[in-house]
C-alpha cells in the first residue's frame, strides 16, 4: 500500500512537471530581428524602436523585436535576400530589384506631385499597395506597408549645369543604384551615370569617384553626406518609399493574434511616415542651408520641363522593366496625370 501510494504520488508529480514544463516552453518569447539601413538618429529608426516596444507590450512579452539600424545586418539587397530565406525576420528597407524587376514600380518618376498625391497613391489596399503585395508573395515575403522617406532629388559636390533644362548635358558623373529605371531617368535628363553600392557612396563622393548622387530624399543627403556635398536640388522626381516586410517563415511562427498586433503597428508606422516625411523635408532643407550647402527648391511650374521630359522619354520604356500588362495597368491608373 505504501509503495503504491508513493508510485501514484510520483506519477502525479512527474505529470505536473511535464505539464508545467510544456507550458513554460509554450510561453517562451519569440525574438524577431528587425533590420534597417538608416542612421540611428533617423526618424525611421526611432519609429522602428517605437514599434518594437509596442509589439512587446501588446503581446505581453510573447514577441520581442530587436532593432538593427544603420545597415548592421547588411545593405538592403543582402537584407532582403535574408528575408526571403527567413534568416532575418523583419526589415524596413528599399526593395532591391534583383529578385523581381517589377519592384521598380514604386519608383516610377513623376507619379506624385505633392504629399496629397502620396497619401492616395501609397494608401493601404490601394492599387499600388495590392500590386506590390502580390510581388512579395511570390518571394515568400509578407508586405505590411510603405514607409515614406520623402521626394527624391540630387545631391552634388559641384553645381549642376543648367539644372532645369533636360536637354543640356550636365557637367557631373552621378551615382545611381543598380536599378535600370534610375539610368533611364538620368539618361533622359542628360547626366553621365555610374553604379556605386550605397555602402560605398560616402567614400565615392569624398574621393571624387562620383560628383553627385540620385536616389534619396533631403534627409538622406543631410544625415549621410553633408560633409561632402555642397549642393542639393529638390527635383521631386520620385517618391522615396521604403517597405516594411516580414519573412513568411517568421510570420508563420506567430499566432494570428500576434500577426494582427504586428500588422496594426506597421500600419501606424506607415501612416505616420507621410506626415513625418513632409515635416522633415522642410526641416532638412533648412538644416542643409545652415550647414553651408546650396539648396535649390523649385515650383511645380519650374519643374514642368523635367517632368514632361521624363514622361515622354522614360514612361514608354516602362514595359521593358515591368512587363506590358503591369505597365498598361499603371497607365490606366495614372492616365489623367500624363
List the pLDDT tens digit at each of the 338 positions of the chain. Answer: 444 444 544 554 444 544 445 444 457 899 999 999 998 989 999 999 999 999 999 999 999 999 999 999 999 999 999 999 999 999 999 999 889 999 999 999 999 989 999 999 999 999 999 999 999 999 999 999 999 999 999 999 999 999 999 999 999 999 998 889 999 999 999 999 999 988 899 999 999 999 999 988 998 899 899 999 999 999 999 999 999 999 999 999 999 999 999 999 999 999 999 999 999 999 999 999 999 999 999 998 999 999 999 999 999 999 999 999 999 999 888 865 44
Distance between CA atoms of residues 181 and 94, nearest Å:
14
Residues 6+ apart with CB under 8 A from 109: 181, 185, 237, 238, 310, 314
Determine what percent of the chain falls in helix, strand and coil, rounding each to the nearest 5. Answer: 50, 20, 30
Domains and CATH numbers, the chain: 2-337 (3.40.190.170)
- Provide the pLDDT for residue 1: 43
- Provide the pLDDT for residue 26: 54
Q: What are phi and psi of 253, to 5 degrees?
A: -80, -10
Instruction: Please report, to the nearest 10 degrees, the dihedral formed by the alpha carbons of residues 281, 282, 287, 289 taken in order.
Output: 110
In the beta sheet, which residues pair with residue 64? 31
- Provide the pLDDT for residue 13: 45
- Provide the pLDDT for residue 336: 54
How many CB atoms lie under 10 A from the CB of residue 181?
23
For the chain, strand residue ranges (E) read 30-36, 63-68, 90-93, 141-156, 173-176, 192-195, 212-217, 231-234, 239-247, 294-297
* Cβ burial, residue 155 (10 Å; 0-12/13-18/19+): buried
pTM of the model: 0.84
Contact 186/310 with Cβ under 8 angstroms? no
Distance between CA atoms of residues 321 and 228, nearest Å:
33
Look at the block and give the residue holding cell 542651408: 289
CA 118 to chain centre: 15
Q: Three-state DSSP class for 238?
A: coil
Amino acid at each position: 500500500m505504501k509503495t503504491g501510494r508513493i508510485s501514484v504520488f510520483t506519477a502525479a508529480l512527474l505529470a505536473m512537471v511535464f505539464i508545467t514544463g510544456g507550458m513554460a516552453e509554450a510561453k517562451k518569447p519569440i525574438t524577431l530581428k528587425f533590420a534597417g539601413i538608416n542612421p540611428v538618429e533617423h526618424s525611421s529608426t526611432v519609429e522602428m524602436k517605437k514599434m518594437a516596444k509596442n509589439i512587446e507590450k501588446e503581446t505581453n512579452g510573447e514577441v520581442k523585436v530587436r532593432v538593427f539600424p544603420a545597415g548592421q545586418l547588411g545593405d538592403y539587397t543582402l537584407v532582403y535576400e535574408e528575408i526571403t530565406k527567413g534568416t532575418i525576420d523583419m526589415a524596413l528597407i528599399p526593395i532591391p530589384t534583383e529578385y523581381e524587376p517589377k519592384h521598380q514600380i514604386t519608383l516610377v518618376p513623376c507619379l506624385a506631385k505633392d504629399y496629397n498625391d502620396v497619401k492616395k497613391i501609397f494608401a493601404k489596399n490601394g492599387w499600388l499597395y495590392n500590386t506590390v503585395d502580390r510581388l512579395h508573395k511570390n518571394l515568400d515575403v509578407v508586405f505590411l506597408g510603405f514607409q515614406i522617406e520623402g521626394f527624391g532629388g540630387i545631391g552634388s559636390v559641384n553645381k549642376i549645369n543648367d539644372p532645369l533644362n533636360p536637354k543640356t548635358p550636365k557637367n557631373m558623373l552621378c551615382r545611381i543604384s543598380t536599378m535600370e529605371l534610375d539610368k533611364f531617368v538620368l539618361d533622359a535628363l542628360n547626366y553621365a551615370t555610374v553604379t556605386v553600392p550605397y555602402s560605398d557612396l560616402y567614400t565615392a563622393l569624398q574621393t571624387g569617384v562620383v560628383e553627385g548622387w540620385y536616389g534619396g530624399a533631403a534627409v538622406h543627403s543631410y544625415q549621410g553626406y553633408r560633409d561632402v556635398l555642397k549642393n542639393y536640388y529638390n527635383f521631386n522626381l520620385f517618391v522615396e518609399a521604403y517597405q516594411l516586410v516580414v519573412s513568411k517563415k517568421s510570420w508563420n511562427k506567430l499566432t494570428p493574434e500576434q500577426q494582427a498586433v504586428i500588422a496594426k503597428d506597421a500600419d501606424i508606422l506607415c501612416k505616420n511616415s507621410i506626415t513625418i516625411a513632409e515635416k522633415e523635408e522642410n526641416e532638412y532643407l533648412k538644416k542643409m542651408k545652415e550647414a553651408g550647402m546650396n539648396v535649390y527648391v523649385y515650383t511645380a511650374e519650374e519643374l514642368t520641363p523635367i517632368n514632361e521630359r521624363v514622361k515622354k522619354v522614360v514612361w514608354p520604356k516602362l514595359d521593358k522593366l515591368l512587363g506590358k500588362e503591369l505597365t498598361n495597368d499603371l497607365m490606366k491608373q495614372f492616365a489623367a496625370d500624363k
